[in-house]
Amino acid sequence: MEYLESDFFLIALTFGVYFLAKRLQARTGWVVLNPILLAILVLIGFLKVTGISYETYAGSASIIDFWLKPAIVALGVPLYLQLKSIRRQLMPVLVSQLVGCFVGIVSVVLTAKWMGASDDVIISLAPKSVTTPIAMAVTESLNGIPSLTAAIVVLVGLFGAVCGFKILQVGRVKSPIAQSLSMGTASHAVGTSRAMEYGRIYGAYASLGLILNGLLTALFTPLLLHLLGIA
């Protein structure tokens, strides 16, 4: 059974499960069969059945985590390709991102407060819509629970990837730019990867939404929590 814990096997398993999940979604066309969601569920099941600890898996798959950082940086490429278009609409984009950031933070804080959540839980939920490194840094600076933040960020991203475009259709949001910015703002990198499947324009503006919302959330979360009487 030792080979099941080897670095090469666990990395190959991760890529293999994701590849098969991707093929399954492409064949069925079902949005709910999100490859990231399926891969997470299968790998959790595998670790439970085999008794392999998460620490062992995380150590073996650390190379995947390493490449996530340059992958995020690479999102700047579609932004550069659409730079002229972005410059022409810079003010509406900035205003929409500011509103999106404020609504995203205030809505989850008020909802959690109304449901009786403790302050540390509310703080941990506030940066739910930004990419994990930023969200966890914000939570740590405010003495929240980083592990809870990480879990919520993953769930929010998966929900956006599965339901985001459907919700936008129901809301009659037809502009590709508005759709893309919404996906990047509300569902960070997972929503952005979903938007990229629709084309380069979608990918560029979703990346812009991800970046701007990350910056704005880092800047304004402490202030908004203070105004709402949380931190």
pLDDT at 85: 83
Question: Please, which pLDDT band fits residue 35 given cuts at 50, 70 and 90?
Answer: confident
Overall average pLDDT of the 75-81 stretch = 77
The region of weakest confidence among 56-60, 111-115, 178-182 is: 56-60
* Residue 1 predicted with pLDDT over 70: no
- What is the residue type of 68? L
User: What's the whole-model pTM score?
Assistant: 0.81
Give the model's confidence band at 180: pLDDT under 50 very low, under 70 low, under 90 confident, else very high. Answer: very high
**Contact at 8 Å (CB) between 11 and 61?**
yes
CA dihedral 55, 58, 13, 77 (to 10 degrees): 170
pLDDT (mean) for 175-180: 91
User: What pLDDT score was predicted for residue 183?
Assistant: 92
> Could you give phi then psi for residue 82, rounded to 5 degrees?
-110, 20
Nearest alpha-carbon partner for 227 in 99, 62, 102, 40 = 102
Radius of gyration for the alpha carbons in the chain, expressed in angstroms and rounded:
19
Domain layout of the chain by residue ranges: 2-71, 76-227
- The runs of H, that is alpha helices, within the chain are 7-28, 35-50, 54-60, 62-73, 76-81, 83-88, 90-114, 119-125, 132-141, 146-170, 176-196, 200-227
Q: What is the pLDDT of residues 98-142, one digit of tens each?
A: 999 999 999 999 999 999 889 999 999 999 988 888 888 899 999
Q: In this predicted structure, what is the pLDDT of residue 55?
A: 85
Contact 76, 207 (CB under 8 A): yes
Per-residue pLDDT at 231 exceeds 80 = no
Cβ proximity of 52 and 31 under 8 Å: no
